Amino acid sequence: MRIAIIDESASRAIVIREGLAALPDCETFVVTQRLGLVAKIEEIGPDVVLMDLGNPSRDVLEEYFTVSRALSRPIAMFVDESDDEAIVASIDAGVSAYVVDGLSAHRIRPLLDLAIGRFNAFARLQTDLAKAQGALAEREAIDKAKRILMTSRGFSEPQAYAELRKTAMNQGRRIADIADAVITAQQLMGGA
């Protein structure tokens, strides 16, 4: 596992490294410079990102939230102090674990596991949502294509669906693809 530790303080980064020392097959990278942070993280290609921000200002928090939005990896963020607004912003930015005043070597491993678990759960939810949205869009396209066939060809709804299905089978394509083609053809012919 490749872990990027982002911390402007090398001494605080050592605490995180100590907490990761017992992990087998763990390769850690410490990044102490904020300049070019996203590029540096992409270069490292970590599986997990641990950010220790100490007591960051609003500007620093926003900068790191921008970084976390750009990454598609589990992120655990450590801060010394926080408020409700910062917590909400971190969740919106994709931070998997937000830890206030909890930086100690023995807590790193459980927090790492938590961040990975939350990230994976959220990724599954996003995948499920994308599938559901895709299925809904396909269903809407099929319904629209059926309405076009019902209006233009005088088909009943079952006949329109049967025609879409038969065409899809004959062409070795999905019904949704045929529906999209019907809708496109209707638009080209001047319909809505």
Report residue 145 as tokens.
Answer: 């294509």
Give the chain's mean pLDDT: 84
Same domain, 18 and 95: yes
d(CA 31, CA 46): 12
Same domain, 143 and 74: no
Q: What is the DSSP string of 57-112?
A: -HHHHHHHHHHHHH--S-EEEEESS--HHHHHHHHHTT-SEEEES---HHHHHHHH
Same domain, 99 and 166: no
Poorest-pLDDT segment among 13-22, 100-109, 125-134, 142-151: 100-109
pLDDT tens readout for residues 144-153: 999 999 999 9
Instruction: Give me the mean pLDDT over the 113-137 stretch.
Output: 90
Q: Which domain holds residue 148?
A: 132-188
Residue 111: per-residue pLDDT: 82
Residue 130: per-residue pLDDT: 94
Q: Residue 60 — pLDDT band, cuts 50, 70, 90? A: low
Q: Measured between alpha carbons, how far is residue 150 from residues 15, 27, 142, 161, 164 in Å?
A: 69, 62, 12, 10, 11
Q: At 148, which CATH number?
A: 1.10.10.10
Q: Are 60 and 16 in contact (CB under 8 A)?
A: no
Query: Which of 103, 123, 142 is a domain's end point?
Result: 103
d(CA 71, CA 135): 27
Query: Which of 86, 103, 120 is a domain's end point?
Result: 103
Instruction: Give me the mean pLDDT over the 115-141 stretch.
Output: 92
Rg (C-alpha) for the chain, rounded Å, is 25
d(CA 52, CA 69): 17
How many domains are there within the chain? 2
pLDDT tens readout for residues 33-50: 777 777 888 888 888 888
d(CA 1, CA 48): 8
Residue 56: per-residue pLDDT: 63
Same domain, 10 and 88: yes
Among 150, 140, 152, CA closest to 176: 140
Q: At 15, which CATH number?
A: 3.40.50.2300
Same domain, 10 and 91: yes
With a CB cutoff of 8 Å and minimum separation 6, the contacts of 75 are 48, 49, 50, 51, 68, 94, 95, 96, 97, 115, 119
Among 12, 40, 39, CA closest to 99: 12
d(CA 154, CA 163): 12
113, part of any domain: no
